[in-house]
Homo-oligomer: A and B are copies of this chain.
Amino acid sequence: MAERKLWPGADAPPVWDAVPDWLSRRADTHPDHDALCLQGRRVTYRELHRSASALAQRLQAVGVRAGERVALLARDGGLFAVAVHALMQLRAVLLPLNVRLAPPEMGFQLADAGVRLLLHDEHTREAASLAAQAVRDLAGGGEGGERVELWELTDAVWRNRASGPVAAADENLVRLADPLAVMYTSGTTGVPKGAVLTYGNFWWSALTSAVQLGLDPSDRWLVPMPLFHVGGLSVLIRSVIYGTTAVVHDSFDADAVNSAIDSDGITLVSVVPTMLDRMLDRRGGRPYPAHLRCVLLGGAAASRHLLERCQALGVPVAQSYGLTEATSQVATLQPRDGLRKLGSSGKPLPATEVRIVRADGSPAGVGEPGEIVVRGPTVTPGYWRRPEETRNAIRNGWLHTGDIGCLDAEGYLYVLDRRRDLIVSGGENVYPAEVESVLCAHPSVEEAGVVAMDDPVWGQVPAAFVVLRPGGRADEQELRAFCRDRLAGYKVPKRFLFVERLPRNASGKLLRRKLSEWLHTQPITGSPST
């Protein structure tokens, strides 16, 4: 519109597409501030910048260049972090590998993304070697296949100093449209696809999350979660955007987390519900210090029981809904709304839009379940080298998550389930999470997982896997009666299987496919298996 122009014939004002390099800026503004607190090592922004620059120079010397995908497989959080920053300095694209994957799964990702170099640490040396072999096998076997070079990261990175500027970072700006990472989405649904996340995705996620959760320049954000998932990686990256401190634990230990919160000045911590459960178990009712201002709960929906337990202890829990394709956080429930909106994931980040749509694409009504679709600057531009899957997932800018949710009359998001887990029984829809939530409300039940079981009459019926609390004594009859009192008949599980624990992936997501397999391998029993 001519009226919006500065003068007739003027160009439209620019949309900003580059920002000063994050780590260089923080080495300038916060040189002596802690960038990382590792178990046994503190790293200032000056030190992190120097170490990352030195590693970047060495990687550049072996030919790593902007846009190239480089894989990272490391258990050591400090080495993981310095490698991430080195790759960012080169504008190479990070492919973080889940350390729990089997070699063929890693090989698939390496081949799919065209990786030539795999960075690892001493703990993952063997796995890296097997993964590289798996790529050769995929390419036809033997030495004639695609070759992935290995590079072992060691503590020497902390002693290295860059000998000059890194060429690719000369301009000292990062372009928001450039890819920062390719992250393969969790194997709980279908074939893994590499979601490409740009610098802009992480930049917007960091800034709009700060509006959602608040930001204190003295924040120390504890990540006892894997850095290879988006929940951990995004904390690493947002800390450098903010100039705050990321506190990294290489693995989850409830006592270590509790102790860090008490004595290491932790202000925020990212956990999944099972971790929080264990933290509270180990805590024994002792309150957390006031400086802990937010426990960000992701990966899976917390049970009503867990949220009530947190309410009782005054733990400031922010339940969130997020996914890899949206650079983690999409919506967050403010701690103050925890009780009023128990079970909700709250409201979207300020630049993010969330809608619920029916199968025909029309908007769902208040309280009506439908597919959660997401639009905004944190949404991936697409899947690496997969135009068709990308067109399928992102339509008119809206990411179709495959997750089922609804909005209440006040616009609060409730995540009901993963679409593919929907149980259709005699034409009625059964949402497993709803059934699980009822089961978890039983005083003897610790957790529950519900899946579809084939049925000659109804097509599918729900079956429930149940973990009892220590001392819990409910049997099938009692639980069935408990559900019948609270649910429509078709939602009540037709089978109850009592197990020691539920299968979850590294981010705490329930592996329903595994539960479905258990249906066929575990003896079906009507009473506790122990």
Contacts and interface: CB of A to CB of B under 8 A. Distances in A.
B10 A177 contact: no
Interface string A62-83: 0001111000000000000000
Contact of A217 (B20, B25, B334, B384): B334
A333 B431 CA distance: 53
A350 B66 contact: no
A242 B211 contact: yes
Nearest to A390: B6
Given A177-B15, A207-B211, A7 B216 contact: no
B217 A3 contact: no
B215 A13 contact: no
Interface string A8-22: 001011111101101
Nearest to A207: B207
Interface in A77-114: 93
Interface stretch (A356-364, A375-383, A439-447, A517-525): A375-383
A510 interface: no
Contacts of A4: 66-67, 93, 178-179
Q: How many copies does the complex hold?
A: 2
Q: How large is the interface on A (under 10, 10 to 19, 20 to 34, 35 or more residues)?
A: 35 or more
A366 to B, nearest CB: 13
Contacts of A2: 67
A414 interface: no
A376 B347 CA distance: 30
A230 B200 CA distance: 27
Contact of A6 (B196, B347, B411): B196
Contact of A208 (B6, B207, B381, B382): B207
A28 B214 contact: no
Contacts of A377: 16, 19
A387 B188 CA distance: 57
Contacts of A385: 6-7
A210 interface: yes
Interface in A327-357: 334, 347, 350-353
A411 B28 contact: yes
Interchain residue pairs A-B with the least CB separation, the first 3? A3-B67, A13-B381, A16-B377
21 contacts: A1-B66, A3-B68, A4-B93, A6-B385, A7-B385, A10-B382, A12-B177, A15-B16, A15-B17, A16-B351, A19-B350, A28-B411, A207-B207, A207-B210, A207-B211, A210-B211, A214-B215, A214-B216, A214-B217, A215-B215, A216-B216
Interface of A: 1-4, 6-7, 10, 12-17, 19-20, 22, 25, 28-29, 65-68, 93, 176-179, 196, 198, 200, 204, 207-208, 210-211, 214-217, 241-243, 334, 347, 350-353, 376-377, 381-387, 390, 411
Given A19-B376, A210-B210, 7 more contacts: A3-B65, A6-B384, A6-B385, A7-B386, A15-B177, A20-B351, A214-B214
